[in-house]
Structures are given as C-alpha cells and as structure tokens.
Amino acid sequence: MHLQFQREREREMENGKCNGGTAARSPVIKFTKLFINGNFCDAVSGKTFETVDPRNEEVIAMIAEGDKEDVDLAVKAARFAFDHGPWPRMTGSERARLMHRFADLIDQNIEELAFLDAVDAGKLFETGKIMDIPAVSGRLRYYAGAADKIHGEVLKMTRPSLFGYTLKEPIGVVGIITPWNFPSIIFAMKVVPALAAGCTMVVKPAEQTPLSALFYAHLANQAGIPDGVINVVTGFGPTVGAAISSHMDIDKVSFTGSTEVGRKIMQAAAASNLKDVSLELGGKSPLLIFDDADIDKAVDLALLGNFYNKGEVCVASSRVFVQEGVYNSLVKKLVEKAKDWTVGDTFDPTARQGPQVGRRQFEKILSYIDQGKREGATLLCGGNAIGDKGYYIEPTIFVDVTEDMKIYQDEIFGPVMSLMKFKTVEEGIEMANNTRYGLAAGIVSKNIDLVNRVSRSIRAGAIWVNCYYGFDVDCPFGGYKMSGVGQDSGLEALHSYLHVKSVVTPLHNSPWL
C-alpha cells in the first residue's frame, strides 16, 4: 500500500500536480553562502558541498563549506559586535522592537521557509506552515516580551555595613550548533533567547539542512539586527563544529544533537577556555500505558510519539510499555492504525510521514531494523524501505523486545517502535528507567494518584500525561542523565545566556572591614 502510494506521488510530482502544483512553483534557492558580519560570502577555501532533497535524492544547491578560518572570521565579527556594537548596549525594549520586526518578516515568508525545510529535511510542508515556522515567530515575540525584564535583585546582606545587589549581563559570544530534524524550531530555541539576552553568536546549522538558517539570517538583517550579531557558518561537524567548540573567544556553546557529539563538545569546551555549555542530547523515551487507559487515545499517542516527523525526534516514545490487562487489545488496534499511516511526498497534504533526512540516516534505521530481527524481536508490521527513489521507510513495530537488544537501548531516530508488556506499576517504572537517557516520558492513565506517583518516579526532564509532545515556549525543556545539561525554552533558557554579577559597597560611614 505504501509503495503504491509513493509511486502515485512521484507521478504527480513529475506532472507538477502535487498539492496544487507546489512542485511547479517552488521558489528559487536564494542563499547558499556563509553569512558573516551582515554579508553573504564565499568560504575562505572556496569549497562547496551538496545539500540533497531526500524525496528524490537530487541535489538542491551547492552550499559554501566553511572551515576553521571562516569560524575565526565569524567569531571576530561577533566579538566586535559584542564588545563595541550596539546590541548588548541597547535597552531591552529596543532589542524587543527589532525582534518583533524579525518575527513579522518570518510571518511574511512562512511558505518559503516551510518549503526550504520540506526539501532540505523531508519535513511535511503543511506542518511547517501551520506549526514549525509560526513557532519561530512566536518564540521571537515571547522572548521580546522578556527582553526588557532582565534584572537582578537587591540582597539582604548578613553584614549590616554592606549594601549588595546583582546584575544580569549577557554572557558574550555564543556558539550555536543545531541538528537537522527541526531546522527552524531548534534554530529559534537557541538563537532567540540569546538575542533577547543581548548576546552575539555564530551559528552552525546541520550540514544536511543549511537552507532555512541562511534565510533566517537574511531576515534578521532586513529587520535591522546589527551586523555581527547573527553569523551563520555552514559546514561539517569535525571542522566548523570543532572550531566553534574549542574557540577561545566564544563564551558559551549551545548544542542539540547526539550524546556522542555532546561529549566531544564538552571536552573541547573544557580544554579551551572552560566555556559554559548547554547540551540537549539523545533520548530513548518511554510511553507507559496502564490498564485503566483510554485505549483509542493510547493508540493515537503511541503512533504520534513514534512516527511524527518520521521518528526523527529526540523525545520520540520509541519504547512503549503496556500493562498486561490491555496489551492484546492495544496491540491489535495499534497495528491496524499503523498500516494506515500514510507515507508520501512532503508536499502532499494527505501524507503523515515524509522521507528520512538523508541516505546515512536511512541506512542506519534499516540496519537497526535488521538488527532487531537478528536479535530475536518479532516484527509486527513495516520494516521495509518504500520505492526505489527517496529515503522512505514504513512505520515499523516490534514486539518480544528485551532489554539487552540494541533496538531497546539505542536511539534509532526513525519510525521504529518497540512494544513491551509489564505487570505491576513498580515493574513499569523500573523498565522505563532502564536507559542511559532521560529526556522525556509519557503516561496514559485516568488515575491521578497513579499519575502523580509515576511522574515523580521516572527520571526524565519532561513528563507528558495523557498527551505527547507537550512542548510550549514557556515550559523549560532539558534532560536527565546522558540526555544533556541545561534548559531550552522558558525563562530558564534566557537565564542561561546571562551572567550574574554581584556588586557590593559599604554603606556611608559604616565600618565595613
């Protein structure tokens, strides 16, 4: 069924009919160079690399390939903009005004930005228009509202001869390294609170998805954000990412990605200038479904938690634990609905899942599926690539999964679900916590006492009750264990880009020594 669906989509795309002719009226790729100090420029080396459309494996554009020398130029621009430019010295309300203008420009370019993420990352075009891109402008407006409310506090000193207060000041130049699964949203999660705080920055988008970050840099420039405040250096992790992580003139690194790379960034930060780091890393999140759950709701949440954004979600509920009383009925409904989960072109409004981001990720997911079969897990549905062009994979569900299997322990980052059965509440909690990660978890139950108990027992940074992906700009988000350090979203994210400075002075005629 999925294969036939995809072939129909390919024929429609060839004829320019898909989604009312979206393929025929695709915008021209405008920005492919580095953005440094307010200008687009070639890499020092002159090198470029391909960015590829995962729908058809065709090259979209050639992108400037930055290296250490380009990072040095970008950091120099960001450092000058911080040390001598207007951005950190503006009042919060002045920064807010330009951030609102930036948000307005994003709203005026929603379709083009959604298109860029659709062809670059394989994200659904309609979802981008409705959710991802509006979330970027919404985040700008949220933090613009906080920019003029950054303040310290007057201290009640224990020594009566001293008067003390604190100041909150921007941390400085920030290195931002973003992943490919949510190019727009995570760009905003990192860049926007840093802007509100008064920081300047060098951004490295994932090499798989550079297009929207460059477009956002252009819009920021149009909005009047000063030169050098936002710089974008495209390129690869071992070159651009490593140079950012170890740079002596960068004061903080904020990264979202794998735990393995996060460890390297922390090591590089420590070995250079002990710069501050915020890391949102891997996950292997549990979804616990209890006997009293609404089965239909639980099935829908399990499908959403695993297959949304083709499973390329750090908090995907890829380990689903079902209490034995409802296990059989839930599995039956889950498989039926999974077979109807439509996979197709990103521009088709009926598709619920597009292609994986690229060949490397595509092959990695298929290798995990093969590994699951070899280790003895039972495949209930899916497990295959779709078509002979593009990186499409069927929604895949395994049962008979044990805790020693790689599909149970490793972050697959694809549309692969592992279903396990448990008896008691205690057993469910123990199984959910048996992971090196701790990013998020879901609970499905009508029993408030059980929900409260389980919520406090699971070691994860976000707990979603009778829902999944309960993100909000006002809600802090970060991980436990090997899922990272620090918080994105909420005012905690803003505070992570601020230093606290204490100022102490003796009171008049007081013996202060």
CB-based contact 288:443 (threshold 8 Å) = yes
Query: Residue 416: in which H helix or E strand, if any?
Result: strand 416-422
Alpha helices (runs of H) in 276-418, residue ranges in sequence order: 295-307, 324-339, 359-374, 406-409
How far is the C-alpha of 89 from the C-alpha of 290, rounded, in Å?
54
- Please spell the DSSP secondary structure of 251-291, one letter per residue: -EEEEES-HHHHHHHHHHHHHTT--EEEEE-----EEEE-T
Q: Which residues contact 390 (CB under 8 A, 6 or more apart)?
A: 6, 54, 55, 56, 57, 355
Other Cβ atoms closer than 10 A to 297: 14
Which one, of 233, 208, 186, lies nearest residue 74 by Cα? 233
How far is the C-alpha of 437 from the C-alpha of 319, rounded, in Å?
12
DSSP single-letter state for residue 54: T
How far is the C-alpha of 400 from the C-alpha of 379, rounded, in Å?
9
Catalytic choice (280, 312, 394, 411): 280
Q: What is the CA radius of gyration of the chain?
A: 24
Sheet with 154-155, strands from edge to edge, namely 154-155, 162-170, 498-506
**What phi and psi, each to the nearest 5 degrees, are found at residue 444?**
-120, 110
Integer CA distances (angstroms), 189 to 140, 291, 473, in order: 9, 37, 9
For strands 392-393 and 385-386, give the pairing. Answer: antiparallel
Which one, of 313, 283, 285, 234, lies nearest residue 48 by Cα? 234
Q: Is 314 a catalytic residue?
A: yes
Q: Is 41 a catalytic residue?
A: no
Provide the token pair at 328: 């059989």
How far is the C-alpha of 27 from the C-alpha of 42, rounded, in Å?
22
Q: Which residues contact 447 (CB under 8 A, 6 or more apart)?
A: 290, 292
| Burial grade of 154 (CB within 10 A; 0-12, 13-18, 19 or more) | exposed
Catalytic choice (12, 199, 207, 314): 314
How far is the C-alpha of 199 from the C-alpha of 202, rounded, in Å?
10
Alpha helices (runs of H) in 54-180, residue ranges in sequence order: 68-83, 92-108, 110-121, 125-127, 133-147
- Please spell the DSSP secondary structure of 328-340, one letter per residue: HHHHHHHHHHHHT
Query: Residue 423: in which H helix or E strand, if any?
Result: none
End-to-end CA distance of the chain: 82
For the annotated catalytic residues, the residue numbers are 280, 314
